[in-house]
Amino acid sequence: MIYNPSIDLTANILLVDDLPENLQLLSDLLLTLGYSVRSVTSGRMALKTSKAKRPDVVLLDIKMPEMDGYQVCQAFKADPELRDIPIIFISALDDVFDKVKAFWSGGVDFIVKPFHSEEVVVRLENQLTIQRQRRSLEEEINRRKETEEMLYQSRALITSVLNNVADGIAATQAVRDLVTGEINDFRCLVVNPVISKMFSRSREDLIGKLVVRQFLERVNPSLYQRLIDVVETGINLEEEICYPSVPEVWYQVTAIKLGDGFTVTLRDITYKKQNPKD
């Protein structure tokens, strides 16, 4: 057999056979290749040692006293802690019925004795590869679940903050001309209740819509161009504007570039403007 040292064969293998000479043969082979190997001579011992230290794969003989291989495999599959461990049968039984029964019992593969060492290693490594891929997939799923939970909590926190602050807060994305690349308008991405009240529209009616240019041209035409400058230059905007209402309202406007758009905060400074000495 040609052993490729670039292949990682590190794994914990459990051998189950009532004949010590069979265990010795397999053990010598797998230890030489770098596997960690444990050997037991009965099904009950296999179940007990697997609970103490979980194997990555079980190589299981069929013809054994007390519990045969089929019963041992079924016991593994009935145990929630052990059911995911792949079991490969190794047996001198070569009848189709025996192989079918092995798979019905929960086995993942079947090797006929006398076996070739290359066949054992290839079939074993195939199951280990499947196990590694499954664990990797489970870890990725768990990471995504954790990320989704963090995002959900973050969004809930942000929503709570946006809904309860006294300042108006919004975030936008630039909408550019496909030919010239110039900014034609801004799409609303985030809008809190203070901002939606200024527009006299619900947040649901503002998010995703192109309403910034039309609104500013009515309220403060020059502010629209200065917001474009924020996006194009990255220089923050801070100024005071008067909102044309009755009575009039003054806001401190702070705009900061955010991606290809901006985030803006409006703070009501009407009292400060009307009472400069306070």
Kindly list the domain boundaries of the chain, sorted by start residue.
Answer: 12-139, 165-274
Q: What is the CATH number of domain 165-274?
A: 3.30.450.20
Distances (CA, A) of 64 to 46, 71, 240: 12, 10, 88
Say if residue 86 is preceded by a cis peptide, omega within 30 of 0.
no
Q: What is the pTM of this model?
A: 0.56
Q: For residues 168 and 198, which has the higher predicted lDDT (pLDDT)? A: 168
Quick one: pLDDT at residue 278?
66
Q: Quote the strand ranges of the chain, DSSP E.
A: 12-16, 36-40, 57-60, 87-91, 109-112, 168-176, 183-191, 237-243, 249-257, 261-268
CA distance 234 to 240: 19
pLDDT digits (tens, 9 = 90+) for 62-98: 999 889 999 999 999 999 999 999 999 998 887 889 8
Q: Residue 189 in contact with residue 155, Cβ under 8 Å?
A: no
Q: Residue 198 in contact with residue 191, Cβ under 8 Å?
A: no
Tell me the fold of 12-139. Answer: Rossmann fold (3.40.50)
Lowest pLDDT segment from 47-51, 93-97, 189-193, 241-245: 241-245
